[in-house]
C-alpha cells in the first residue's frame, strides 16, 4: 500500500470523515445492487463509541465474516471501524439493512475477550463501546506492518568475480542489510550491488518492520543474562537487540536459532531460592500445572523475594506451548525495572504495554498478542484488555496499589477485573503484595484465595527498625523548617557511614497552597476550585487534577498588593531546598513524576541510586513501589499525617500501606535499616501499628470497624 493510501486508510480506521481509496482494501458495494436473501448474513457490529449495543448490518455470505473480525461500516454519513460481535448466517431480514463496506485485515478479537468486555460493561454499567476503545485502541494494528528490503547471498556462484564484487559478497555474508548500506560497507558503487542482484548472486528479501518477539528461555542462566550473552548471534538489523526476520520468506535467516543455554549451577534464573521461597513457588506452580481458575495471594514482607517466586510460576505456565502470561505493574515508572528482572530470568525482554509506548510498538505488541506470539507481557492496567489468544497466568504485582483503579473515562479497578478475567478464562492469577488490601485479605481468610506467605526477608536480611517522632513532644523542626533534629541527625549518621538516605514527602511541587498575606486570597484552579500547587523550579502554579497552570503572579489578583504571596506547607521541592542547606556537600535528587517524566529519566535515576551515585533521595509515593537500593539504610517520613486527612474510608489502610512500603526500602541487603516517622498523632492506631510493624493486628481492627459499619468489603457503596 502506498503512503497516501495508507494514510487515508488510517483516517477511516480512526472514524474520521475521509474519502476511501479505491482498491481491494475498501471494496464498497455498489448502490442499487440486488441481493438474494438466502445469500446474506446479518452481522452485529460493535463500534468503539459510547453506544449501548451493536448495530446490525448485512454482508454477503461469501465474505465469510466471523465474530471478532474488524470491519468498516457506515454510521450516518461516516465510515467507522468496528468489530463483528455476532453473525446470523442466511438471514432473510438482512436485505433491509445497510451493508458492511469492507473486512479489514488483522487478527480477530478472541471470543473470550468479547465475553469479558460484555461482562465488564454490565458490571461497570457502561456502554460496551466505551470498553471496546480499550481493546482496539491501536488502529495501526489492523494494517499490515510496513516492510523494508534487504539483500543476502543467494548461493549461486559467479564465474567471474572482480575485487569489488568480492568485497560486496564478503560483507553480504556477515549480515543482511539494505543494498545501499551494503554498497557503503563494501566501498563500491550502487551499480556493483545492483549487478550482483541482476545476475542472481544476491537476492532481495522483504523484511517486516515488526520482527517477532523472541521466545522466553525458561532455564536462562542469570550469569549469562548479566553479561549480555543473550544478545550474541543476533542480527544487527534488530531494534533493542531484536532480530528482524523476513516477512515473506521463512528462509530469510539461514542460521539456525541457538539452542537454549544449559541451566546455571545456581538453579533456574541463576538465583537460588530460599527454602521458604521454594515452598511458596512449589505451591503456586502446582496450581498452575493443575490449570483452571485459581487465585493465590502471595503475601511477603518487603524484600522477601516475591518477584522470584512469581517468576517461577510464569516459567511453569510458559511450559505449555502457546501459553501467555500477563504481569500488571502499578506504575509506568516501574516498567524498566520489571523488564530488567524478566530479562535476567528469561533471557529476553517481555512485551511492554502502557500509554507511554509509541505507535509502532503498540501496533507490534497488539498484533503479536492477538496472534499468540507475544507470550510474556508486562504492562499497566490497560494491558488487561489486550486480546490474548491463550492467557494462562495473570500476576498483579503490588495488588494493593490504588493506581490500579482508573479514575477517568471508564472507571474500574484492574485488580478486580483481572480476577474476573482469570475466572472466565479458567486460568491462574497471583496477587502479590507486602501489604495486601483488606478486600484481598478477607477473601484469603474466607478460603476463596490461597494464602501463600513469605514471612522473612531473603538472604537473612532484617526488617528495618521503625520509630515514631512525636512532633508535639520531641524537639520540633526549627522555624520554617520541616525536618526535626532527630531526623537530621539520623541522615547525617548514614552519610558519615557512606550510606544512602531517603526522605518521603507525598506532595509534588514546592508548597500545596499559595496565600496572600494581606487579604488572605488563595490561588485556586478556575476549573476545580482546588488549590494551585506552587512549583518553584518552574515558576508556575499548577492544578494537579486538570493540569491547568499559570506563572506565579507578582501581585495578588484580589488586592493587587505586590510580592504578598507566601507558600504554605511543604512539598518535595521545599524539602529538597532544606536538605540541600543542611547537607551542602551531599548529592541530592528529587524522585517525582515532575522531575522524572519519562521512562528514560526514571531508569537513569534508579541506576544512579543503585550505583550509590546519589546520597539523599527525596521522593513522593513513586519511591515506595518496588525499588531495591542496596546501600539505602535510612528512611525519613516527613509528614505521615497527610494521608489521614479527608473522608476516605481507606485512609488509614492506605497510609499504613504506603509508609510500610517506604520504610521497607531501608536495609534490604546486609546493612541494617532504620525508619523514622514524623507525626502529630502518634497514638493513632495506624501509627502504633507502623511502629510495632504489626500489620495483622491493624488490618484485623480495620476489618472489624468496616464490618460494623457495613462498609466494603462487607458492603457496597453506590
Is 246 a domain residue?
no
User: How sure is the predictor about 143, in pLDDT bands with cuts at 50, 70 and 90?
Assistant: low
Looking at residue 65, its pLDDT comes to 92
Domain residues for the domain of 689 are 461-507+570-709
What length is written for the chain?
718
Tell me which of 92, 109, 126 is where a domain ends: 109
Residues 343 and 274 in one domain: yes
Chain segment 229-288, per-residue pLDDT in tens: 333 333 333 333 333 333 333 333 333 333 333 333 344 444 689 999 999 999 999 999
CA proximity to 370, closest of 146, 213, 208, 246: 213
Same domain, 542 and 629: no
Residue 134 placed within a domain:
no
Task: Tell me whether residue 182 is in a domain.
Answer: yes
* Same domain flag for 552 and 574: no
The average confidence (pLDDT) of the chain is 86
Answer yes or no: do 448 and 328 share one domain.
yes
Q: Can you give the pLDDT at residue 184? A: 92
Tell me the C-alpha distance between 418 and 37, whole Å.
Answer: 43
- Cα gap 635→505, rounded to integer Å: 11
pTM of the model: 0.83
DSSP for residue 552: P
Give the other-Cβ count within 10 Å of 470's Cβ: 16
**pLDDT of 35:** 46
Domain of 478: which CATH number?
3.40.50.300
In a domain, 220, yes or no: no
Same domain flag for 577 and 703: yes
CA distances to 11, 172, 689 from 202, in Å = 39, 8, 73
Same domain, 517 and 590: no
End residue of a domain, out of 193, 208, 223: 208
- Domain count of the chain? 5
Q: What is the pLDDT of residues 519-537, one digit of tens each?
A: 999 999 998 889 999 999 9
88-129, pLDDT tens digit by residue? Answer: 998 888 889 999 999 988 889 999 999 999 999 999 999 999
Q: Is the pLDDT of residue 213 over 50?
A: yes
313 lies in a domain?
yes
| Interstrand relation of 55-60 and 40-46 (parallel, antiparallel or unpaired) | antiparallel
- Residues 382, 441, single domain; the answer is yes
What burial letters (b/e) apply to 158-192, b meaning 16+ CB within 10 Å?
eeeeeebbebbbebbeeebbbbebbbebbebeeeb
Within this chain, do residues 283 and 337 fall inside the same structural domain, yes or no?
yes
Task: Compute the average pLDDT of residues 365-380.
Answer: 93
323 with 444, same domain? Answer: yes
Portion of the chain with pLDDT greater than 70, in percent? 87
Neighbours of 20 (CB within 10 A): 18
Partners of 191 in beta bridges: none
Together in a domain, 100 and 12 = yes
Say whether 617 sits in a helix, a strand or coil: strand
Question: DSSP state, 140?
Answer: G
Residue 262 lies in a domain: no
* Residue 93 confidence (pLDDT): 84
Out of 156, 180, 208, pick the residue that ends a domain: 208
Q: Looking at the structure, tell me whether residues 686 and 600 fall in a common domain.
A: yes
User: Does residue 236 belong to any structural domain of this protein?
Assistant: no
Instruction: Examine the domain organization and report whether 411 and 497 are in the same domain.
Output: no
Residue 37 has pLDDT above 60, yes or no: no
Q: What is the mean pLDDT of residues 451-479?
A: 90
Amino acid at each position: 500500500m502506498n503512503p497516501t493510501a495508507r494514510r487515508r486508510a488510517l483516517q477511516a480506521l480512526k472514524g474520521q470523515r475521509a474519502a476511501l481509496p479505491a482498491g481491494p482494501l475498501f471494496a464498497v458495494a455498489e448502490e442499487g445492487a440486488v441481493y438474494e436473501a438466502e445469500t446474506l448474513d446479518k452481522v452485529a457490529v460493535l463500534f468503539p463509541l459510547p453506544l449501548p449495543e451493536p448495530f446490525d448490518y448485512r454482508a454477503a455470505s461469501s465474505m465469510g465474516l466471523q465474530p471478532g473480525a474488524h470491519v468498516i461500516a457506515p454510521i450516518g454519513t461516516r465510515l467507522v471501524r468496528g468489530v463483528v460481535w455476532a453473525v446470523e448466517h442466511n438471514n432473510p431480514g438482512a436485505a433491509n439493512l445497510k451493508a458492511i463496506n469492507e473486512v479489514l485485515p488483522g487478527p480477530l478479537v478472541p471470543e473470550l475477550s468479547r465475553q469479558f468486555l460484555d461482562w465488564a460493561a454490565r458490571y461497570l454499567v457502561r456502554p460496551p463501546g466505551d470498553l471496546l476503545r480499550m481493546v482496539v485502541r491501536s488502529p495501526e494494528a489492523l494494517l499490515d506492518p510496513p516492510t523494508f528490503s534487504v539483500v543476502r547471498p543467494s548461493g549461486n556462484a559467479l564465474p567471474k568475480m572482480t575485487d569489488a564484487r568480492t568485497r560486496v559478497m564478503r560483507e553480504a555474508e556477515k549480515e543482511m542489510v539494505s543494498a545501499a548500506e551494503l554498497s557503503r560497507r563494501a566501498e563500491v558503487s550502487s551499480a556493483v550491488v545492483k549487478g550482483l542482484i541482476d545476475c542472481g548472486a544476491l537476492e532481495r528479501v522483504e523484511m517486516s518492520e515488526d520482527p517477532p518477539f523472541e521466545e522466553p528461555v525458561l532455564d536462562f542462566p542469570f550469569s549469562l543474562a548479566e553479561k549480555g550473552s543473550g544478545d550474541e548471534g543476533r542480527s544487527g538489523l534488530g531494534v533493542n537487540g531484536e532480530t528482524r526476520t523476513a516477512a515473506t520468506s521463512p528462509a530469510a535467516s539461514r542460521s539456525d536459532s541457538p539452542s537454549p543455554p544449559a541451566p546455571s549451577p545456581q538453579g533456574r534464573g541463576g538465583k537460588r531460592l530460599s527454602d521458604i521461597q521454594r515452598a511458596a513457588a512449589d505451591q503456586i506452580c502446582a496450581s498452575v500445572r493443575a490449570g483452571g481458575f485459581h487465585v493465590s495471594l502471595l503475601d511477603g514482607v518487603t524484600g522477601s523475594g516475591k518477584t522470584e517466586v512469581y517468576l517461577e510460576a510464569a516459567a511453569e505456565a510458559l511450559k505449555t506451548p502457546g501459553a501467555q502470561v500477563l504481569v500488571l505493574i502499578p506504575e509506568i515508572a516501574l516498567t524498566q525495572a520489571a523488564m530488567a528482572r524478566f530479562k535476567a530470568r528469561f533471557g529476553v525482554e517481555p512485551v511492554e504495554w502502557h500509554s507511554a509506548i509509541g505507535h509502532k510498538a503498540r501496533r507490534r505488541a497488539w498484533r503479536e498478542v492477538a496472534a499468540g506470539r507475544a507470550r510474556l507481557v508486562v504492562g499497566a492496567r490497560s494491558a488487561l484488555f489486550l486480546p490474548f489468544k491463550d492467557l494462562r497466568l495473570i500476576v498483579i504485582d503490588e495488588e494493593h496499589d490504588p493506581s490500579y483503579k482508573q479514575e477517568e473515562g471508564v472507571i474500574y479497578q484492574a485488580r478486580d477485573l483481572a480476577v474476573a478475567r482469570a475466572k472466565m478464562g479458567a486460568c491462574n492469577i497471583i496477587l502479590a503484595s507486602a501489604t495486601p488490601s483488606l478486600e484481598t485479605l478477607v477473601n484469603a481468610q474466607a478460603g476463596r484465595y490461597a494464602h501463600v506467605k513469605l514471612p522473612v526477608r531473603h538472604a537473612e536480611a532484617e526488617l528495618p527498625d521503625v520509630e515514631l517522632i512525636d512532633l508535639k513532644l520531641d524537639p520540633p523542626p526549627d522555624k520554617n523548617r520541616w525536618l526535626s533534629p532527630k531526623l537530621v541527625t539520623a541522615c547525617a549518621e548514614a552519610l558519615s557511614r557512606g550510606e544512602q538516605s531517603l526522605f518521603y514527602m507525598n506532595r509534588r511541587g514546592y508548597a500545596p497552597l499559595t496565600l496572600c498575606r494581606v487579604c488572605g486570597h488563595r490561588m485556586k484552579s478556575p476549573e476545580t476550585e482546588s488549590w494551585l500547587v506552587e512549583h518553584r523550579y518552574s515558576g508556575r502554579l499548577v492544578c494537579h487534577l486538570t493540569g491547568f497552570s499559570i506563572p506565579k503572579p507578582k501581585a495578588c489578583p484580589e488586592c493587587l498588593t505586590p510580592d504578598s504571596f507566601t507558600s504554605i506547607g511543604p512539598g518535595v521541592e521545599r524539602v529538597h531546598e532544606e536538605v540541600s542547606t543542611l547537607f551542602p556537600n551531599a548529592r541530592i535528587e528529587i524522585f517525582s513524576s515532575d522531575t522524572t517524566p519519562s521512562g528514560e529519566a526514571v531508569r537513569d535515576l534508579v541506576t544512579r541510586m543503585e550505583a550509590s551515585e546519589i546520597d539523599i533521595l527525596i521522593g513522593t509515593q513513586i519511591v515506595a513501589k518496588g525499588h531495591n537500593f542496596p546501600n539505602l539504610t535510612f528512611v525519613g517520613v516527613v509528614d505521615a499525617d497527610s494521608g489521614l486527612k479527608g473522608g476516605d474510608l481507606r485512609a488509614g489502610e492506605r497510609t499504613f500501606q504506603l509508609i510500610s512500603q517506604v520504610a521497607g526500602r531501608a536495609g534490604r541487603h546486609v546493612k541494617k535499616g532504620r525508619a523514622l516517622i514524623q507525626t502529630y498523632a502518634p497514638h493513632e492506631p495506624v501509627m502504633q501499628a507502623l511502629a510495632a510493624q504489626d500489620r495483622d493486628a491493624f488490618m484485623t481492627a480495620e476489618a472489624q470497624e468496616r464490618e460494623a459499619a457495613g462498609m466494603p468489603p462487607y458492603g457496597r457503596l453506590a
